[in-house]
Structure 1
Amino acid sequence: MKNFYPQQYQTDSEFNINHNYLKEQFSDYKEIFNEIEKVVRDGDFTLGQSVNDVEELIAKEASTKYAIGVGSGTDAIFLSLKALGIGPGDEVITTTYTFYATIGAIVTAGARPVFCDIKDDFNINTEEIVSKINSKTKAIIPVHWAGRSCEMEKINKIAFDNNLYVIEDACHAIQGEYKSKRCGSLGDLGCFSFHPLKNLNVWGDGGIITTSNEDLANKLKLIRNHGLINRNTCVEFAYNSRLDSIQAVIARYLIKNKLQNITHTRITNAHLLDQMLKDIPQVNHPKRFSELKEVFHLYVFKVENRDGLYQYLRENGIDAKIHYPVPMHLQPAAKTFGYKIGDFPIAEIAANQTISLPVHEFISFEQIEKMSTIIHKYYSSI
């Protein structure tokens, strides 16, 4: 089986208005090279000082006491489960409308994912959670889809009443907020991704876990690094999932110099598109709430005749995406869990109706107008 990413990168690069903005974001790469040079000179490639720096910066961003750098956002979820002692025979409640990594982390930890449907905002339907709880249930993983926080007060109350852990999949939600509290500080553990197309991104994979629980923080620092307490002493055979020092340099640079602008511009661009598209009856946005700070890792909405609009946008040079056309319970990998079409109807409708447009910080007002104009033109012609 060939690596499919190079062809995807080539295809995506041909669009005039693109989801991929990495060339622009890192056009100042020589400044980052200067900081990487220090890592090379010092030779501190593994859990070096730049990792410590990023952990301190992210803990501050997330309003938690601790942050633990790991190899990826997927590893952040996986290691969070392992730190909580969750594994074979256990069940974890989560949403079927998420990226593969959420479910992959649960399964590779040895636990069984138990799905809930979503609400119209694409986040987990909290009203379904209680009915899924049994003696095997150990945790809830709410996913802050596209950078919009879940209903965390309700989720935490359910967890408290049933003695469950809450692990936030906040991989889309750096600087997102729920009732003025930062995503990543709302559960027992918060998981973030530094994947190249995340709002805070690096030049490969990387992730970080946030918590205010000292025991969990210490456990995570242990199991991300083979269970070592020093060079010669292993107290627990564990994993190799360390945030790379060079990637940490890049994350540190963005946090200090760009993250605030990234967040602000995405919010501004998303709200502009909300206004420009609100007069189209075939377009259905999630309702926005003042108690939520959405950071728009994705700008996702439902439309009528989605596949036709998707094709029309791409024919007109706009890199429209579908996130994602098949919910997790209907993926081939999920057959073993016995779910079928119709089990989670709202998620299935979303999979057939949603479309995503780029709103990153390098999208201009003129490009936003162009996207709006093309969508208006499409629906006026059918």
Structure 2
Amino acid sequence: MVPDTPNLLDQLLPDRHPQADFFICDVADAILKDLIPQMEHPFYVLSKKPETAVRRYEHGDKWLEVIPSAKGQATIYDKDILIYVVSQIMHRINRGEKVERRIRFNPRDLLIFVNRGTGGKDYEAFCEALDRLMGTVIKTNITTTGGDQDDVPMGDEERLGWFHLIESAHINRKNNEAGGRIMSAEIQISEWIFNGIRRKSVLTLHRDYFRLRKPIERRVYEIARKMCGARPELEIGLEKLLKRTGARTELKRFRHTLREIATHNHLPDYLVAYDEVRDMVIFKGRGTVVAIDPAEKVFIPPLSSETYDHARRVAPGWDVRVLEQEWRSWADEIPKNADAAFLGFCKRRSESTALR
């Protein structure tokens, strides 16, 4: 049984910035999707406590090691910064703009994007996250090059790479004071990550991803989003799911966690069920994830911000940016009124799902 809306909303963090709207990409999938699609472990730790132990993950003949700094391994919350950066770069790619590894932005925009507060402690947390992202070293034999292969080793040779998630970062503070408000930031991501972005190996996340309260909920959603995608249903053994999360917890405790998630069913895009007899977790699509053809047939002008607000009302529970991509990819001609045409499309998609 699916709980009613108030109960579902009670399980999520409040939407601190309801007027904001962004296209959200999953950086972990952007890096690893085409290389190790059955990745069993993440390289972002699920704990806020400093983790300094080296961790190694393997899949077939591909492997990677995560080497933290003295300040600890990058966390799943630190990953929000990379989600923002990847989202902005992907947005520019989709608009046909030139992109590079270095991106300049207002940290306030980032904090709003990831549903954080905009007080002094939130800006300091941003700086601490940069410490961990820059300090975490990835050592791997996985490559993300997609062009010239002249330097790819042949025969029995193996190519190894070491890189930081973020190579460099700069911030500008108000009044040039240590405690002053951060006015702007500049980040340069690694070439390894940038190559994955340029190959468009990305997934779209539901905006409520940033409203999930617990790290394990974020990770379970990521796995469902990657493995289940737009399919109606996917099953995975509980023990196997635990390994994929990378959570350092006992199977008994993880089983209790999955029961709670299945009871409240507050993950976006997917319903979660737990089969006690088979010890299996079942992800069922809510019908809000669609398979998207990235090639748009015609160019349709940008929609107004009011249209997105209206679209959320006519298609509750849907990610309106994903609906927009589907609508644009199906368009055969430029509509006379793009905003009205899009709202009609959202209404039809929402009604068709409700009738299933």
| TM-score interval, normalised by the smaller of the two chains | under 0.3
Q: Which has the higher contact order (CA 8 A, sep 6+)?
A: 1
